[in-house]
Amino acid sequence: MEWEALPQSLQSLFPQHEFYSLPTEMEKKSYGEDFPAHSFTSCDVTKLSGEANNADKLIARAAAEAIGDNKANRKAADLVIILDDLEIINLHQASVVVDVVRDAAQRYLDRFSNEGIKRNRYTDALKNKVSFHLAKPMIESWLFSDWENLNDSCNPTRTATLDEGIDPECFITNDPVYETDTGENCKIWISHSENKRKKYRPQWIKAGDRRNIHPKAYLSWLCFKSDEKNCSSYSETVGGVIALKSLKWAKLFQNQNHACFARSMIHDIANALKEDNPFIGMTALETNLPDQRQRILRNL
């Protein structure tokens, strides 16, 4: 979803610049690059402390793009953003997620501990051109800020019940019908034998007792369709892509105290590209551009 849609969405904010996703389309087709890019936040990130993990792969790929490749005539990027979902399981520990990324960056630079010039080159590239940002708790939370657009792109069959003025990054439903739905109307799910039902579980059933804070689960329920796989017509790669491409950022940032993690990313991009900041307001301490602290990436 992000790979397909985010470049176009960001370009609407900064039309003088070119945005693209990694791996590039050519890499995906020609070189068998891992796709989609590896996430590391789907588990409790405290379990990753001190060990190599998918964050290491993300850092290595970002560093390569920031350096460029003279032999392949591949220009260095002006800025590389690593974006991952915070996920429900890590909602309370964004700072720990950030620490995992910092540790991965340090491990990457330690590869060049005996190569002074090369180490300096990569140190500068990470510090000046690579940033890490979070979608809290996941990318679908952004979409709920622009319900009219979401309604047009994802075709929900039910109406969302959310408290007015809620911060999309503090997503919580106020919908007792959703919160008590047992899935008994999901024909395709209940038609399977017990040992096959796990594969076809609706997203809101998978979310368990955290469904009320799970934007993707709620969106799946709003797009209920009993004869579709997982009982929903919502697809990240179809409706999700359309909604993110046409997201009205001004609606996401209409309250200056909301969407702080997303605003940190936009501030970072504007700063790197030497453009005016399009949305003033609060940013997330964990991923904001720092003033006076030791950095290993642009914002960490």
What are the pLDDT digits (tens) for 49-90? 889 999 999 999 999 999 997 655 678 999 999 999 999 999
Percentage of the chain modeled with pLDDT above 90: 78
In a domain? residue 300: no
Q: Are residues 63 and 168 in the same domain?
A: no
**Which residue range is the domain that position 122 belongs to?**
2-138+258-272
Decide if pLDDT at 7 tops 90: yes
Q: Are residues 181 and 242 in the same domain?
A: yes
How many structural domains is the chain composed of? Answer: 2
In a domain? residue 297: no
Q: Are residues 106 and 20 in the same domain?
A: yes
> Would you say how long the chain is, in residues?
300
CA 141, chain centre distance (Å): 10
Q: Are residues 241 and 151 in the same domain?
A: yes
Q: Are residues 151 and 36 in the same domain?
A: no
> Which one, of 216, 80, 206, 190, lies nearest residue 138 by Cα?
216
What are the pLDDT digits (tens) for 213-267? 999 999 999 999 988 888 999 999 999 999 999 999 999 999 999 999 999 999 9
What is the model's pTM?
Answer: 0.94
Q: Are residues 131 and 54 in the same domain?
A: yes
Q: Are residues 13 and 130 in the same domain?
A: yes
In a domain? residue 284: no
